[in-house]
Amino acid sequence: MTELMTFGKALNAGLRRAMAEDDHVLLMGEDIGPLGGVFRITEGLQDEFGESRVLDTPLAESGIVGTAIGLAMAGFRPVVEIQFDGFVFPAFDQITSQLAKLTNRLGGARSFPVVIRIPYGGHIGAVEHHQESPETYFAHTPGLRVISPSTPNDAYWMIQQAIAGNDPVIFLEPKSRYWPKGEVDTEAPALPTPYRSRVARSGTDVTLVGHGAMVTVLLQAAAQAESEGISCEVIDLRSLSPIDYEPVLESVRKTGRMVYGQEAPGHVSVGSEVAATVMERAFYSLEAPVLRVSGFDTPFPPAKLEGVYLPDADRVLDAVDRSLAY
């Protein structure tokens, strides 16, 4: 059955289904109980499943993640909500020094199925520490899966797949996408893995690649380019670690050109890694250098300047024009 849902409601429905199917799934986070979280993603779940499975925690991110690690060791499947992207850093040591390494440290004797949900990115006019793009830190850390859906349907299925897997998962939710609606097929079989890239729009002239909220921007750019006679193919990575490169490489071999778009700063980023890999593995198919469009290499600015900082369709189209000029 297909339903029209916002991205946020799709996440809520996915969490509800995962909790209903496995009573070892627990939700933890600040204000996620009666309030339903800052973005209301867990709204109604404490009423349905009780306080022992939807836990309001103290304002202590390191303690939240540390507790989740212990619960995973005891056989539970904790899902942690970090209230805002900028608040994940107090838990950074627990995530990168402990959670990411414990399975390897124990020789595979135990798995740690902890999902850490992080609302991330801009476009909501928030203050400092409430608009960050920290994905590169986690994608750089061996032992973590890092995924980011861009549509309500992917949000619904990918949160369930993340919870069902046995790896620690950083689940990045583009907060600017919480409210737009999309079709969600709640009866379709789950994707075989949440880590496959997808072709969001077919094209022949330039490949546009991105993740999270930038996928929407890339689709907007592709629609504008079409009016100018330029055909852009758009690839949604879905996963930042590991990255499923085959759809990207197949597209680049067809178009000969690629532009990567992201909200995060460009220096030492996911876009940098994808660009380098495409240059290595599809060099003889390229008609132009791989180009990147990103946030600037500065701290995220005050809300009034986010429109200057964040890449928009015009900046993507400028890169498309530069690529086609070679």
Final residue before a domain boundary, out of 150, 185, 220: 185
Quote the number of domains for the chain. Answer: 2
Residue 177 neighbours by CB distance under 10 Å: 24
Same domain membership, residue 117 and residue 223: no
Residue 285 is assigned to a structural domain of this protein: yes
Q: Determine, yes or no, domain membership for 116.
A: yes
In this structure, is residue 193 part of a structural domain?
no
Note whether residue 273 is domain-resident: yes
Q: Are residues 114 and 207 in the same domain?
A: no
Query: Are residues 233 and 122 part of one domain?
Result: no
In a domain, 190, yes or no: no
Q: Is residue 192 part of a domain?
A: no
Residue 193: predicted pLDDT: 64
Are the C-beta atoms of residues 214 and 193 closer than 8 Å to each other?
A: no
The answer on 64 and 38 residing in a single domain is: yes
pTM, entire model: 0.95
Considering the domain boundaries, does residue 29 fall inside one? yes
- pLDDT at position 190: 65
Catalytic residues: 130
Contact 270, 92 (CB under 8 A): no
Of the candidates 157, 185, 213, which is a domain's last residue?
185
Q: How is residue 304 written in tokens?
A: 């009034």
Whether 158 is covered by a domain: the verdict is: yes
pLDDT of the chain, 326 residues: tens digit per residue = 899 999 999 999 999 999 999 999 999 999 999 999 999 999 999 999 999 999 999 999 999 999 999 999 999 999 999 999 999 999 999 999 999 999 999 999 999 999 999 999 988 777 777 889 999 999 999 999 999 999 999 999 999 999 999 999 999 999 999 999 999 999 877 665 667 999 999 999 999 999 999 999 999 999 999 999 999 999 999 999 999 999 999 999 999 999 999 999 999 999 999 999 999 999 999 999 999 999 999 999 888 899 899 999 999 999 999 999 99
pLDDT of residue 191: 61
CATH number at residue 135: 3.40.50.970
The residues, any chain, with a CB within 8 Å of residue 270's CB and separated by 6 or more, are 135, 136, 139, 211, 237, 240, 262, 264
- Output the pLDDT for position 102: 96
177 plus 239 within the same structural domain = no
Here the CATH number for the domain that contains residue 267 is 3.40.50.920
Residues 219 and 251 in one domain: yes
Tell me: do 81 and 203 sit in the same domain. Answer: no
Same domain, 47 and 136: yes
Q: Are residues 82 and 206 in the same domain?
A: no
User: Where in the sequence is the domain holding 82, given as residue range(s)?
Assistant: 2-185
Is the same domain home to 139 and 288?
no
33 and 58 together in one domain: yes
61 lies in the same domain as 121: yes
